[in-house]
Amino acid sequence: METNLTSNKSLLDWLDEKVELLKPSKIVWIDGSQEQIEALRAEACSTGELIKLNEELLPDCYLHRTAVNDVARVEDRTLICSRSEKDAGPTNHWMDPEKAYKMLYDIAAGSYEGRTMYIIPYSMGPVGSPFSKIGIEITDSIYVVLNMCIMTRVGKKVLDVLGDSNDWVRGMHCKCDIDAENRWICQFPEDNTIISVNSGYGGNVLLGKKCFALRIASYLGKNEGWQAEHMLILGLEKPNGETKYICAAFPSACGKTNLAMLIPPEGYKKKGYKVWCVGDDIAWIRKGPDGRLYAINPENGFFGVAPGTNEKSNPNALESTKKGTIFTNVAHNLDNNTVWWEGLDKNPPTNAVDWKGNPWNGAESEEKGAHPNSRFTAPAVNCPCISSEFENPQGVPISAIVFGGRRAKLTPLVYQSKDWNHGVFVGSIMGSETTAAATGAVGVVRRDPMAMLPFCGYNMGDYWKHWIEIGETLDPDKAPKIFNVNWFRKDDEGNFLWPGFGDNLRVLDWIIDRCEGDVDAQETAIGYLPYAKDINLEGLDMTEADLDKILDVDKDAWEEELKGVDELYAKFGDTLPKELADELAKVKADLEK
């Protein structure tokens, strides 16, 4: 074995076992040095795993194409392997851990033969922060190594913090043959272990992200009294210089990255409003010494949706991708060796290669150049609006928690919950149209509680109970206020009824005003809705009457919606918290009034 970077016995023992199983031809410790990263980039380019892009226009940027059958998370092949099936709950796929280990070890055995085993020590959260947690991922993919080096804090410094501790998350990734029939993404929450086989796509293989920072971490949080959530974190700086922090949970490809980096509309900008990005996908939240909730972003980069990202919709994200970025499954413009995706601009390249690796003429082709779930992996430091608190080991204090989904009908632009438990209810009933971020049908409404349906590492009934119990420990004056938003209402012709993107600040402004008690609202059965006059429409081609159309509560439609909630709740049996059953009954009764 190459010289060990640590003498940690639990780690070395685990590695010995994995070497025995996987039979790598070579072993490389990832130390996090620039020289090593350069050498790996060069090696990946020599084999075609990466394509180096135009050094002038996109310095240190690379393109990668995954297998055509391997472009999104696979939810039906993502398993929670707790000892008891009940602990995985009715919304997760479960397998007995003994059976799962055997299945996975059979698939993985000998799969590193002729390949290199890379050992990646990484920290989720700033190295050494009391919030942070350490993981080790072994992989046979340079693409995974280079992505992890952007998305997490990697290298020797992490092992120095780990010392002799046994408190680290074990992650084993094996590309095997990228065989979709034998693809499995398994979490063993009781063993701090993740095993991923036969995939090379982001969320399935960058084990620090969804597997650790959400599935394993949500379970750790339940036991240790904190929360791991699928949430962006942003700071809204007001003209008086004060910054208020908001966490928001939207399902995959429903606008977290966009909201986290938004640029205020002209009128707001002039007044001095600014938005600072702390995180765009995951928040780890715990109570601080002053009794408020504090959040950190455990990641160090953005694994963002490429399509739709442009100079107008999200200039900060676009700017973040201009250096040191890995692009996955976008189109390759051969004229200038850059990248392109649908919605980048109106000039698709004509001399290009599409995401599948075929010649592509964007002016003529009916096919898409980039996959709808194509992504960029960009370092957080590149982001022009990265928060000064990004590295703060204590996190930022949260004023508001926002839930939201993609709903063409029904859900109003924004409403506020009546109190904490009602807010937990609002999160629990979230429904959203499915997107390309996971395999399967797109555009179908499904229940996605707290945007955590694919990411909760244990029984979601117990997870809801955990939310309620966190609320019980908070002084109501210090607890974040809870809201729900929907940027995606459409008219009958399919046009969006709200401009979205930067203009979402108008809604955040109302949310912060509500938190400060600065604005009234109308009480309805589902919660407090804004008066149209209280949402600033200055500079928009929209009237208060237009706004009223997306600030409505349609009694019949809500009654229909709540039938879906009945169905969801019924699955939980005795693990459904009584508090949520009570909230549901209350909303039903209020709708009847």
Q: Which amino acid is at 279?
A: G
302 DSSP β-pair partners: 378
Among 125, 171, 203, 255, binds ligand SPV (CB under 6 A): 203
421 touching Mn ion, by CB under 5 A: no
Shorter beta-carbon distance to ligand SPV: residue 382 or 432 = 432
202 touching ligand SPV, by CB under 6 A: yes
Contact between residue 321 and residue 327 where contact means Cβ atoms under 8 Å apart: yes
Minimum CB separation of residue 210 from ligand SPV in Å reads 4
Neighbours of 266 (CB within 10 A): 11
Site string for Mn ion, 239-258 (x = CB under 5 A): -------------x------
Minimum CB separation of residue 406 from ligand GTP in Å reads 8
Separation between Cα atoms, residue 555 and residue 54, nearest integer Å: 56
Minimum CB separation of residue 532 from ligand GTP in Å reads 19
Contact between residue 116 and residue 27 where contact means Cβ atoms under 8 Å apart: yes
**Quick one: how far is CA 385 from the chain centroid?**
19
254 touching ligand GTP, by CB under 6 A: yes
324 touching ligand GTP, by CB under 6 A: no
Interface with ligand SPV by CB under 6 A: which range of 44-52, 202-210, 348-356, 411-419? 202-210
Residue where the block lists tokens 């399509």: 307
* Residue ranges in 292-311 that form contacts with ligand GTP under rule CB under 6 A: 304-305, 307-308
Two tokens, residue 288: 């601080």
450: helix, strand or coil? helix
Q: Would you call 11 exposed, middle or buried from its count of C-beta atoms within 10 A (0-12, 13-18, 19+)?
A: buried
Residue where the block lists tokens 């979490």: 187
Separation between Cα atoms, residue 342 and residue 144, nearest integer Å: 25
214 touching ligand GTP, by CB under 6 A: no
Separation between Cα atoms, residue 402 and residue 260, nearest integer Å: 12
Minimum CB separation of residue 309 from ligand GTP in Å reads 7
126 touching ligand SPV, by CB under 6 A: no
Contact between residue 481 and residue 416 where contact means Cβ atoms under 8 Å apart: yes
Among 49, 87, 140, 281, binds Mn ion (CB under 5 A): 281
Number of residues that bind ligand GTP (CB under 6 A): 22
448 touching Mn ion, by CB under 5 A: no
70: helix, strand or coil? coil
Interface with ligand SPV by CB under 6 A: which range of 203-211, 219-227, 289-297, 558-566? 203-211
437 touching ligand GTP, by CB under 6 A: yes
Instruction: Please give the residue whose beta carbon sits closest to Mn ion in the complex.
Output: 281
496 touching ligand GTP, by CB under 6 A: yes
Minimum CB separation of residue 255 from Mn ion in Å reads 11
Instruction: Please give the residue whose beta carbon sits closest to ligand GTP in the complex.
Output: 500
Q: Are strands 326-328 and 62-64 parallel, antiparallel or unpaired?
A: parallel
Interface with ligand GTP by CB under 6 A: which range of 81-89, 251-259, 521-529, 542-550? 251-259
Interface with ligand GTP by CB under 6 A: which range of 149-157, 159-167, 495-503, 571-579? 495-503
Among 91, 258, 338, 374, binds ligand GTP (CB under 6 A): 258
Minimum CB separation of residue 245 from ligand SPV in Å reads 21
Residue 42's contacts (CB-CB under 8 Å, 6 or more residues apart) are: none
Among 49, 281, 389, 579, binds ligand SPV (CB under 6 A): 281
64 touching ligand SPV, by CB under 6 A: no
Neighbours of 248 (CB within 10 A): 27
Q: Which does 222 bind (CB under 5 to 8 A by kind): ligand GTP, Mn ion, ligand SPV, none?
A: none
257 touching ligand GTP, by CB under 6 A: yes
Catalytic residue numbers, as ranges: 254
Among 143, 303, 463, 569, binds ligand SPV (CB under 6 A): 303
207: helix, strand or coil? coil
CA angle 226, 231, 234 (to 5 degrees): 105
Q: Which does 307 bind (CB under 5 to 8 A by kind): ligand GTP, ligand SPV, Mn ion, none?
A: ligand GTP
Write out the E strands in 9-109: 26-29, 51-52, 62-64, 78-80, 93-94
Q: How far lies 257's CA from each of 230, 251, 261, 402, 463, in Å? A: 12, 11, 6, 14, 25
Shorter beta-carbon distance to Mn ion: residue 252 or 314 = 252
Separation between Cα atoms, residue 491 and residue 498, nearest integer Å: 10
- Greatest CA separation for the chain: 72
Site string for ligand SPV, 459-498 (x = CB under 6 A): ----------------------------------------
Minimum CB separation of residue 406 from ligand SPV in Å reads 13
Residue where the block lists tokens 């002084």: 475
408 touching ligand GTP, by CB under 6 A: no
Minimum CB separation of residue 261 from ligand GTP in Å reads 8
Shorter beta-carbon distance to ligand GTP: residue 256 or 506 = 256
234 touching ligand GTP, by CB under 6 A: no
The string over 190-221, giving b where at least 16 C-beta atoms fall within 10 Å of a residue's C-beta and e elsewhere, is eebbbbbbbbbbbbbbbbbbbbbbbbbbbbbb
540 touching ligand GTP, by CB under 6 A: no
448 touching ligand SPV, by CB under 6 A: no
**Quick one: how far is CA 230 from the chain centroid?**
5
The enclosing H or E element of 470 equals: helix 460-472
* Residue ranges in 68-87 that form contacts with ligand SPV under rule CB under 6 A: 73
DSSP secondary structure letters along 128-179: T-TT-EEEEEEES-HHHHHHHHHHSEESHHHHHHHTT----EEEEEE-TT--
- Indicate the length of the chain as a whole number: 593
218 touching ligand SPV, by CB under 6 A: no
Residues forming the site for ligand GTP (CB under 6 A): 250, 252-258, 280-281, 304-305, 307-308, 313, 437, 487-488, 496, 500-501, 504
Where does this chain bind Mn ion (CB under 5 A)?
A: 252, 281
Residues that bind ligand SPV (CB under 6 A): 73, 202-203, 209-210, 252, 281, 303, 437
